[in-house]
Structure 1
Amino acid sequence: MSDLHRLSIRELSEGLAQAKFSSRELTEHYLKRIAKIDTQVQSYITVTAEQALAQADAADAAIKAGHATTLTGLPIAHKDIFCTQGIKTTAGSKMLDNFISPYDATVVAKGKAAGLVTLGKVNMDEFAMGSTSENPHFGSTKNPWNLEHVPGGSSGGSAAVVAADLAPFATGTDTGGSIRQPASFCGLTGLKPTYGRVSRFGMIAYASSMDQGGPMARSAEDCAYLMNVMAGHDAKDSTSVQKEVDDYVSNLNDTSVKGLRIGIPKQYFNVQGLDADVKARVEESLKKLEEMGAILVEINLNMTEAYVPTYYLIAPAEASSNLQRFDGVRYGYRCENPVDLMDLYKRSRSEGFGTEVQRRILIGTYALSAGYYDAYYVKAQKVRRLIQQDFLKAFENVDVIAAPSAPTTAYKIGANLSPTEMYLGDIYTLAVNLAGLPAINAPVGFDKNNLPIGLQLIGNYWSESQLLSVVHQYQQATDWHTKRAAIAEENA
């Protein structure tokens, strides 16, 4: 029973169904690991041990009665951006440090309906704005591969809990790479679905036209199991698309790598700042796919230089609009002893929001202000359409597009990168969100410092099954996804 955390989702599901262990035993195993290891990793903001054990007992009863789903009794960690009824939901911010949600996000509710056991809520960049999970309010989450490095962001806590084996899988959100980049930094598989595939109801908004929830786990197969629960239309989310959901697990072997046309954008491999080890490992993974029968096709994505400026106009503008509700009046943080209403607004927001959130609110407010709206925001939306068309033109000739997930491996904690350096680190991920496309990260090796490196595959709309299938078959032929950090090997 000491190695339950080494089992895949399929193995855990089969073990529960065959009564090799109970959900309570499995949940207790993970809670013990969290108590022992998370003091070093600092991935959880809130551990819900009492509720988790109650859910585990209910799952055991359902399994015994024959009412279980495939995932009944399996533990999960939720990014602390998903509202959870009766449990604190902070979005990683002091602004919501006292917010107990009165309802569940749809993703959480679907997990409960499937019988998943919530271990707790995990750390993140404040309001999902960042790439390091160095949270100014809840501390810096550490990368399990090297505790002196960041796990990436904004879903850094979600990546760290899986990489440290403190949860078998986790939910994340991706607005500009926030699933794929931390998955790359922590040696995991992470899927950013097509915009509208997963409900955003109850997911605290950053940039509403780009936010999308998705699964993070060790393998494509593990992600497929969670996607079967997360995906689907939701009447509570007006941006949710009414489209039939695939059985992602059953479809894992449906896409043949043989004959698959993989687009290689030459602009992506000439980006200034692309680490030599990252480039080498990604190219090796593409060679492996070629050996498996894929056809590599050089393509042009001519809008590459527009990704960062376009994203960092539109996303802050939407953040400025979304975050204006946090004013110290209805809920959330309120400053002490305000002298008047203006003082309440000013101090509640300046004390409740961290530096990066304030920076993006100010940029967004400026871009939306009278006299600048047309020059900045409207122009950025026009360029966004050109970026989307650039991808659609490429997909006329290829099935998927390959790229690094990040130009470097994980940064050191406290590296104090400038905002520009941090934003340029998102060069490979931003366009996917601007265009609303699905994309996946797969671990493909390590750099000279033994830090993980990820390959990103970008698909056309609604091609999540294809992406999971391609990565699954790559993972049948390689073992990068099975590698574990030393801290993950510690037994509770």
Structure 2
Amino acid sequence: PIKELRKSLAAQASTAHPSGVLYGMPVAVKDNICTLEFTTSCGSKILEGYRSPYDATAAAKLKAAGALIAGKTNCDEFGMGSSTEHSAYGRTLHPFDKTRVPGGSSGGSAALVAAGAVPAALGSETGGSVRQPASLCGVVGIKPTYGRVSRYGLVAFGSSLDQIGVLGRSVHDAARVLSVISGRDPKDSTCEDRDSLRLPNVPESLQGFVIGVPKEYFPQDLDAAVRRACDRAIRLLRELGAAVREVSLPHTAYAVATYYIIAPAEASSNLARYDGARYGPRFNGSEDVRALYRTTRGDGFGPEVRRRVLVGTYVLSSGYYDAYYRKAQQMRALIAQDFRNVFDRGVDLLFTPTTPTPAFKAGEKLNDPVAMYLSDIFTVTANLAGLPAISVPIGRIKGLPIGGQLIGQAFLEDEMLEAAYALERAVPAAEEA
């Protein structure tokens, strides 16, 4: 594999244009984003050995800017997970403590950046899969506005939620890559007809910014060290000149339940194609179609994917659609309205914790899916509302990194990045909270 990687990098370097803004920069790519040079397995046996005949638009834009695709990174199967333990090819180790998880589902990308192997990596987000591992591994993770980056070539999980994001060693590294992969794409009808993101200047202060702190994201049972780290970050935002005020997002309590109805429903539809008949390998030579479907999907999908497909099929079924799926979509609209109400009152950005705890032990939550799902409690709302968000390291808890989250207004990533630049420079990210 190392020999093959060197050969691929040499071939890419020979054709990379020296004037590209990312010339010579190695960028790793999550294993659910299509690339010509490497297989795209999505962490699943059902796509083992699959080689895409085309590059995802994001990968193609990286190459056009002179970047080198430095390989594919491990992920939870089809992006379904919060720990990168749900991969058919083994779990990813936390870069600072091998007994812990790096987060997920973009845990491979986060761990690789945190280990210093690459300055940046592409990940994907459905409910926090870039920001959550970024927080747990101590790197920067950006989820752009839905429609800012083309999804062409991203293997679909939840089509109304999915978005390609970036993990980087710094806000600058991640923002540079985001500026390259953003912009219009005729191959993706959900991609907005907008120019590429322009990088903002690093601000001297945050004078004029109004930053809201949603009280629902700071419950009484929030980990005390996480609260201390966030309180310090909020104090520093004030010292930088920002006006900080408490705000309310009243429907936040329903966000996780809403997400875990809508996302599995979309997954059950998107993954229906992997049946061994129309698409994907066959795990059984039987001529009986039902037996073929059952064996192919039963052997090809892991337990977490099977669980979510079953949930999605259930909530979309006759008699349960109105009771679950329709209500979840109504709640999604209310969650998005909460954000609009706050922003309409003069708030520019929101600050919250990214995750409720630092990295947890491997295996700790494997048998408790609800506890695993609650790892995304502070991140799913931005996906449901389609808003940009970024996780920035704000300290350590017993040596383990923890991140703070800034949520911005739709397509105003430049404002969000300005505040993130300032916060990154001000916060002693390596200090204990």
Calculate the TM-score normalised by the size of structure 2.
0.96
- What residue is the counterpart of 1:429 in the other structure? 379
8 A contact 2:84–2:102 mirrored in 1: yes
- What residue is the counterpart of 2:243 in the other structure? 295
The answer to whether residue 432 in structure 2 is matched with residue 475 in structure 1 is: no
**Post-superposition offset of 1:190:** 0.7
CA offsets 1:105-155 (integer angstroms, 9 cap, x no match):
100111111111111000001100000001341111011121111100000
8 A contact 1:255–1:470 mirrored in 2: no
- What residue is the counterpart of 1:58 in the other structure? 15
The answer to whether residue 47 in structure 2 is matched with residue 96 in structure 1 is: yes
Deviates more, 1:138-147 or 1:200-209: 138-147
One-letter amino acid matched to 2:90: G
**Post-superposition offset of 1:180:** 0.5
**Post-superposition offset of 1:244:** 2.7
**Post-superposition offset of 1:349:** 0.2
8 A contact 2:178–2:197 mirrored in 1: no
8 A contact 2:237–2:423 mirrored in 1: yes
8 A contact 1:220–1:469 mirrored in 2: no
**Post-superposition offset of 1:472:** 0.9
- What residue is the counterpart of 1:466 in the other structure? 415
- What residue is the counterpart of 1:323 in the other structure? 271
8 A contact 2:120–2:167 mirrored in 1: yes
3-state DSSP class of the match of 1:278?
A: helix
The answer to whether residue 340 in structure 2 is matched with residue 392 in structure 1 is: yes
Where do residues 265-284 of structure 1 align in structure 2 (5 Å cutoff)? Answer: 265-270=214-219, 272=221, 274-284=222-232
Deviates more, 1:403-412 or 1:415-424: 415-424
Residue 363 of structure 2 is aligned with which of 409, 414, 417? 414
- What residue is the counterpart of 2:119 in the other structure? 168
Residue 24 of structure 2 is aligned with which of 61, 73, 86? 73
- What residue is the counterpart of 1:401 in the other structure? 350
CA offsets 1:240-292 (integer angstroms, 9 cap, x no match):
001233312xx1336951231111111211164x2111111011111111111
One-letter amino acid matched to 1:57: S
8 A contact 1:98–1:333 mirrored in 2: no
One-letter amino acid matched to 1:452: P
The answer to whether residue 151 in structure 2 is matched with residue 151 in structure 1 is: no
- What residue is the counterpart of 1:23 in the other structure? none
Q: Tell me the distance in 2 between the aligned counterparts of 1:205 and 1:233.
A: 19
Long gaps (5+) in structure 1 = 1-30, 36-45, 484-492
CA offsets 1:432-481 (integer angstroms, 9 cap, x no match):
10000000000000002x10010001011111111111111222334527
Q: Tell me the distance in 2 between the aligned counterparts of 1:475 and 1:155.
A: 22
Long gaps (5+) in structure 2 = none
- What residue is the counterpart of 2:283 in the other structure? 335
The answer to whether residue 201 in structure 2 is matched with residue 252 in structure 1 is: yes
Q: Tell me the distance in 1 between the aligned counterparts of 2:329 and 2:111.
A: 34
The answer to whether residue 264 in structure 2 is matched with residue 264 in structure 1 is: no
Residue 364 of structure 1 is aligned with which of 305, 309, 312? 312
**Post-superposition offset of 1:332:** 2.6
Percent pairwise identity:
49
Q: Tell me the distance in 1 between the aligned counterparts of 2:255 and 2:268.
A: 20
One-letter amino acid matched to 1:284: R
- What residue is the counterpart of 1:11 in the other structure? none
The answer to whether residue 401 in structure 2 is matched with residue 452 in structure 1 is: yes
8 A contact 1:47–1:119 mirrored in 2: no
8 A contact 2:181–2:196 mirrored in 1: no
- What residue is the counterpart of 1:123 in the other structure? 74
RMSD: 1.7
**Post-superposition offset of 1:342:** 1.2
8 A contact 1:407–1:428 mirrored in 2: yes
Q: Tell me the distance in 1 between the aligned counterparts of 2:29 and 2:272.
A: 25
8 A contact 1:99–1:332 mirrored in 2: no
Q: Tell me the distance in 1 between the aligned counterparts of 2:204 and 2:282.
A: 53
8 A contact 1:133–1:140 mirrored in 2: yes
3-state DSSP class of the match of 2:376?
A: coil
Q: How many residues align?
A: 429
One-letter amino acid matched to 2:280: G
**Post-superposition offset of 1:87:** 2.3
Q: Tell me the distance in 1 between the aligned counterparts of 2:143 and 2:204.
A: 19
Q: Tell me the distance in 2 between the aligned counterparts of 1:48 and 1:369.
A: 46
- What residue is the counterpart of 1:25 in the other structure? none
3-state DSSP class of the match of 1:362?
A: helix
- What residue is the counterpart of 2:391 in the other structure? 441
8 A contact 1:221–1:252 mirrored in 2: no
Where does structure 1 differ by over 6 angstroms across 4 or more consecutive aligned residues? none
